[in-house]
Every structure is written in C-alpha cells, then in structure tokens.
C-alpha cells in the first residue's frame, strides 16, 4: 500500500452523549461496492451511487481523523461484483484503498470479507495481502479470512468470515466449495449455484436491472430463504477458533465486539440475507454473554437493530453504496465500561447500555420503510 497522506478534514459527528472519554473508538462502514459506473437502481428499486462511494469514504476518513478513532473496520463488499464485467476489479480495489490510506498512520484499518470481495478474479492471497489480512497472526493457513485483534487494553475485536464456506470464494476443487455446494443442494431447489466463473458469465449475460429476486430465492420460504448462493457459512474450524478466542477473552476479562458481513440474528433483516449457520455462531457466542458487548454486520444495505435472546445488541449498517450524496455513510462506535454509543450515518445517536439497564430497541428492520426491499446482492 502507498504511504498515507493527509487530507483536509470534514467532521459531521463531533459530539458525545457522555462527558467521559470512551475507552475505544472504532470507525465503521459497510458495502462500499465501488465501481466506476453510472448510478443505477437495484432490483429493490433503491438507487445506487457507484462513483459517489469514493466521496463517502473520503468524508469518513475526514470525520474519523478529527474524532481520533483508534481503528477502522470496513464490514465488507469493498468493491462491486460488476467490476468483473469490465475487468477492472484490481483498479477499483486500489482506488478505494488509496482513500483509506489517507487516514493517519496510527489508525489501524481492518477489513471484513464480503461476498462481493471474494467473487472477483483476484488471487485470494493477493486480495488478503492488499486488505492487510496477511499481516496478522493467522489461526489457520494464510488463506483464512477471520482473525482477532486488541486495539486497546480491555477490548478484543473478532472478525468472522461469513464467506468461509461458499461457492463463490473458492475454486470447485476446494473442500469449502464442495461443502457449500452440498449445503445448497440439500436445502434448496434453486438451479443458480454458481462458482466464480459461472457467476461472471451470469453478470456478463444479464443487465443488472434484469436480475430479479426470484432468480435467487425461488420458492424458498421463511428462514430457508437464507440458503442462496450469495450467502455463506462459518466453517467448523472457524467456529472452534471463535470459541477459543471468546474463552481467551473471558479469561483476560476483555470486552468483545464481533464483526461479520452476513447478519447473525433472525428478525434484524430479511431471512434471505442471514448467514447459513447463524444458529451455530449464536450458540457459541451465547456461552460468553458477559463478554460480548455488540455484533455488527452489513450485506443488507439498510439499517437494522435488535437484541438477541441473551440481550446482546446486533446492528446492521446501511450501505455506503446507497447513501445519498451529501449524507454520511459511516459511523463511530464509542465504547465505555457500561455502554456503547453509535453515532453517524446521518442518524440520531444510538445508546446500548450493558447489564439490566437497556434502552428500548431502536429502528429494527421490521420498523423501517424498506421491509419489502431485497438487499445487497
């Protein structure tokens, strides 16, 4: 990556509902999906501002610089899959990374793998290297997309890879592809089960506006709608690693924030956007409810908030791609010993108290105006 250079600052969220300094500040955004193409409508009808995403990231960098965040987490889908049509995936990726590089050098920038990230014809090792994911101590082989880090004492951030078991992140010989193909064929009668090469052919053969939700969902009902190819699962090795990371956090008396591109909680989004084995991940997490203080996802493109049955708050971030020009597509997590404050996204502040003091649920997906909208495919 190129050396980071400073840019003029712009801050739209210099405030705090708490006079105490937070223990940790994390800049967050999701679903940038940059492509050098004209604005277009998604199959849901919502507008997508492809070129404006770079401006949104510039604004985020400016705001985070003024707010002195400790680190930044991009929750996946850094570029759009349609870059494959024009063979511009590497150029698009570099354009976004060049903007992130304008953050102060002391700000740690971390990335989460999303379905749009790993479906491109960019070698996986090269992709992980560009995203800075080969520089950490890996739990398994270098090809893994999950990791944990400690940005400040007392706080551990765990990044899960929801594309771990999928048909688009691996070649057909890889065991993760074969496992994903088995999951899909056992749970769905949908014929569209593409790997990388067939997905690229699909994109080139059809105009984006001609792709309908029925092409993916078919006759799937209820929570079974999650068994579509653009979702994925957390593999068994990753689950075991996740449990160990949480157990270590418990022993070290660390608070934990969990990040995954695909949402983990039914009811926070449409069923068709959930991680395939969300239940296994929740079961693992619920053994450490005293430590896990918040879960953050993307993929859906629209805001969502809900607490799970153990009281852990889950938030789905709105997409940078569908952020209107002039509005903010980014936010900041302010973490305290007894609460989390999320500000930004051109929305009111959200306060999550720990323990028995819990604020009323805010803006759950079922209360938004876009309930019927299919999301970030």
What is d(CA 166, CA 115) in angstroms, rounded to the nearest whole number? 9
Q: What is the CATH number of the domain that holds 323?
A: 3.60.21.10
Please give the pLDDT value at position 358: 41
In percent, the amount of the chain with pLDDT more than 90 equals: 63
Tens-place pLDDT, residues 8-30? 333 343 444 567 899 999 999 99
What is d(CA 126, CA 143) in angstroms, rounded to the nearest whole number? 10
Residue with tokens 């949908």: 190
Q: What's the mean pLDDT in 40-44? A: 74
Residue 1 lies in a domain: no
Contact 352, 294 (CB under 8 A): yes
Does pTM top 0.75 for this prediction? yes
Residue 377 lies in a domain: no
Tens-place pLDDT, residues 129-150? 889 886 544 445 557 899 999 9
Residue 9 lies in a domain: no
By CB atoms closer than 10 A (0-12, 13-18, 19+), residue 337 is exposed
Helix (H, G, I), strand (E, B) or coil at 47: strand
Residue 332 lies in a domain: yes
Report the run of H or E that residue 296 belongs to, with start and end: strand 292-301
Please give the pLDDT value at position 134: 67
Structural domain count, the chain: 1
What is d(CA 172, CA 212) in angstroms, rounded to the nearest whole number? 26
Q: Predicted confidence band at 180 (pLDDT cuts at 50, 70, 90)?
A: very high
What is d(CA 295, CA 259) in angstroms, rounded to the nearest whole number? 6
Please give the pLDDT value at position 360: 38
Residue 181 lies in a domain: yes
Helix (H, G, I), strand (E, B) or coil at 27: strand
What is d(CA 129, CA 143) in angstroms, rounded to the nearest whole number? 10
Other C-beta atoms within 10 Å of 91: how many? 12
Structural domain of residue 64, as residue ranges? 24-367
Closest residue by Cα to residue 301 from 152, 84, 116: 116
Closest residue by Cα to residue 245 from 295, 308, 288: 288
């Amino acid at each position: 990556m190129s050396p980071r250079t400073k840019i003029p600052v712009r801050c739209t969220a210099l405030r705090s509902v708490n006079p105490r300094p937070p223990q940790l500040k994390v800049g967050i955004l999701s679903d940038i999906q940059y492509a050098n193409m004209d604005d277009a409508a998604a199959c849901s009808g919502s507008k997508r501002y492809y070129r404006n995403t770079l401006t949104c990231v510039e604004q985020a960098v400016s705001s985070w610089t003024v707010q002195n965040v400790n680190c930044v987490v991009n929750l996946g889908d850094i570029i759009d899959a349609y870059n494959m049509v024009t063979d511009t995936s590497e150029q698009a990726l570099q354009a976004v990374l060049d903007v992130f590089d304008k953050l102060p050098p002391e700000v740690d920038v971390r990335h989460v793998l999303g379905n749009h990230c790993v479906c491109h014809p960019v070698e996986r090792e090269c992709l992980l290297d560009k995203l800075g994911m080969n520089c950490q101590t890996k739990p398994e082989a270098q090809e893994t997309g999950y990791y944990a880090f400690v940005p400040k004492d007392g706080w551990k951030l765990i990044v899960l890879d929801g594309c771990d078991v999928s048909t688009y992140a691996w070649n057909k010989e890889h065991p993760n592809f074969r496992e994903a193909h088995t999951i899909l064929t056992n749970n769905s009668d949908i014929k569209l089960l593409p790997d990388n090469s067939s997905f690229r052919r699909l994109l080139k053969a059809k105009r984006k506006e001609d792709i309908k939700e029925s092409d993916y969902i078919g006759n799937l009902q209820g929570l079974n709608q999650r068994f579509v190819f653009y979702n994925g699962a957390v593999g068994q090795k990753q689950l075991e690693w996740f449990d160990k990371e949480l157990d270590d956090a418990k022993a070290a008396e660390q608070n934990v924030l969990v990040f995954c591109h695909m949402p983990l909680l039914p009811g926070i989004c449409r069923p068709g956007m959930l991680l395939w084995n969300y239940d296994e991940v929740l079961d693992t997490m619920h053994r450490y409810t005293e430590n896990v203080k918040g879960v953050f996802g993307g993929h859906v493109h629209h805001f969502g908030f809900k607490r799970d049955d153990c009281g852990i708050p889950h938030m789905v971030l709105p997409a940078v791609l569908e952020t209107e020009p002039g509005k903010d597509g980014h936010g900041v997590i302010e973490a305290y010993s007894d609460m989390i404050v999320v500000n930004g996204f051109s929305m009111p502040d959200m306060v999550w108290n720990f323990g028995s003091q819990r604020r009323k649920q805010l803006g759950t997906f079922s209360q938004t105006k876009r309930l019927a909208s299919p999301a970030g495919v």
